[in-house]
Chains A and B, each alone.
Chain A
């Protein structure tokens, strides 16, 4: 019982990342009609926003080490901590959450440039061309990051206050066996918050209404005299922010390296297809569902029955779903049928 609960929790935070990426993918699919293979790269760029901010905050200077008295010893101390001994360390400690503030404008800008500079010229081209050009773009972004940050994963620390684990079992009176890292719980809450915000934005604002109408039938919306293309730019930028934020917050869970985006992208595509092209709810539901399935498949009890199932479960589910339900779990008729 405890193990099952733990696996569900495990699946939920991974599922949160899948859902956030898949949400952006679906938005661009549904509105722009573009198959964006560079979406994983946006997740990666978000993660490296956090890395950059952390490196910026911990730029070091040499300070005399007072603890050694025999000779003049120097140690490296971040400038912030040296200049502001009281709140400097706190800022450094909270660099990952602080990165969110940096990542939002950066990702908006990147999304805007991508859409304006490249994607919009591919609205009317074949899907194969869209796949190819965004695939190329993903390679370019990935290699640029590799050039500046190297090929090794760069670990990021969660703030010390939440670096410990929460005894969830005790909250619900289930014994002390269910212990779970705080940061992963925060990630889950954060993912739900961003997803909720995106849904509320699409549901309750005029802008969101236009975007939803555009997903249904962009031609008619255009005929009504609404400049749908300009709104699409904003939608693309918002999708980029979703992916970027997912990346920022994921850094303490998995140290980011330059191909983290590709790894997540393939899975997120599968998530979108399983959820149903163009269905936002489907993408989110499928994200969490596949995340949980994957974590169950990686239990040793399951692995001993079907070895290797943890590696292929997601793809297997995708194949079965596509063959039995061509539109995915919640796909609508007429959206990306072929």
Chain B
């Protein structure tokens, strides 16, 4: 089972692991090597990998993936409250619950395809969001969000004889506190495992089947394949990834709120995936990293800093520049996000990975002799 089709896949996997684990080193020059941000890179990377398994392989655009993320977060926090502060049961339960949710939602939504599927998933996500805010308040704690308290039972921890002091206990992995750098390394390892599974799925007959569904579902069913079980399977896997990401969010910060389930959150993961390149292995992680990095940079700016940036300009111009720039940074950073969304969809539908491939193609053509290059160009135009 663990045999790769090509040695290059091993290379890719090892390279990916190395890049992820050395993040604290190579992110230092751009000032992004603090644990909180790197944890977010890893968590949203996982979320996007899972979304990409569904959207990238089958072309089914789910607009409700944040619901699974929220479910995962709530489950993990409940596990911390009721069972133990150890993160492993929390994450296991988060994946399981999100998977069950995805099974139910997928079973219903996958009866339709195309835009109907998008709207059905959106409807389910909004339903979960509204319920989390209203009726399910005993479970979700409504607007203030689900938090740890000193009076939580924590059955297993109590049975093990651990005594809660005056401060809230922190999440741990057999005694190692899951905050700061250990938390990041934990997320990073989970991300690498998640990437490995995604790689295996991409290369498996199952993955090929999913891609066949994307290219022509009707023909698939004519040849005698029942496509729905495959779609449901990938939908559940994708939901489990989202649940895992939600669980990790609770691990790094044991708090769960309904706003994680809002459909703008679903939109964000769609953007991450298409920015990086839907249907590619690395793309979604790249997209998630870029968006979270820029979110961090842009939202940190305020007017004073902008004034410093444009201090060299003459007074009148400076004010204009500051007021224009303030539309794109700080609390208004979503404007930049939206613009990025529009621009990527218009000019680079294949995402960054497509851009990289195009540039790579230019270089490769440059190395060939002019005749063969022009012949290749001619053949592509004919095709």
Contact = CB atoms under 8 A, between A and B. Distances in A.
A139 B123 contact: no
A128 B335 contact: no
B141 interface: no
Contacts of A262: 263-264
A72 interface: no
A308 B122 contact: no
Contacts of A118: 342, 346
B112 interface: yes
A140 B131 contact: no
Contact of A338 (B116, B124, B339): B116
A137 B334 CA distance: 11
Contact of B120 (A129, A140, A322): A322
Nearest to B133: A311
Contact of B349 (A129, A315, A316, A322): A129
Interface string B338-355: 111110011001000000
Given A121-B346, A143-B332, A137 B338 contact: yes
B119 A147 contact: no
Interface in A98-155: 118, 121, 125, 127-129, 131-133, 135-140, 142-144, 146-147
A319 B124 CA distance: 9
Contacts of B118: 128, 131
Given A129-B349, A311-B131, A311-B135, A137 B335 contact: no
B127 A312 contact: yes
Given A135-B267, A311-B130, A319-B120, A326 B61 contact: no
Nearest to A133: B345
A318 B116 CA distance: 10
A139 B127 contact: no
Interface in A174-214: none
Contact of A139 (B124, B326, B335, B345): B335
Contacts of A144: 327, 335
Given A127-B114, A136-B341, A326-B112, A308 B135 contact: yes
Interface string A263-290: 0001001100100000000000000000
Contacts of B55: 128
B267 to A, nearest CB: 6
A311 B131 CA distance: 7
Chain A contact residues, majority secondary structure: helix
B103 to A, nearest CB: 16
Nearest to B118: A131
Nearest to B263: A266
A144 to B, nearest CB: 7
A242 interface: no
A336 interface: yes
Interface in B248-301: 263-264, 267, 270-271, 274
A323 B108 contact: yes
Contact of A35 (B115, B326, B327, B341): B115
B35 interface: no
B119 A311 contact: no
Contacts of B115: 35, 127, 131, 336
A336 B274 CA distance: 24
B270 A132 contact: yes
A136 B338 contact: yes
Interface of B: 55, 59, 61, 63, 108, 111-116, 118-120, 122-124, 126-127, 130-131, 133-136, 263-264, 267, 270-271, 274, 326-327, 332, 334-335, 337-342, 345-346, 349
Given A147-B326, A338-B114, 10 more contacts: A35-B115, A132-B341, A132-B345, A137-B342, A139-B337, A307-B135, A311-B135, A312-B130, A315-B124, A326-B116
6 contacts: A125-B349, A135-B267, A139-B335, A273-B116, A312-B130, A338-B112
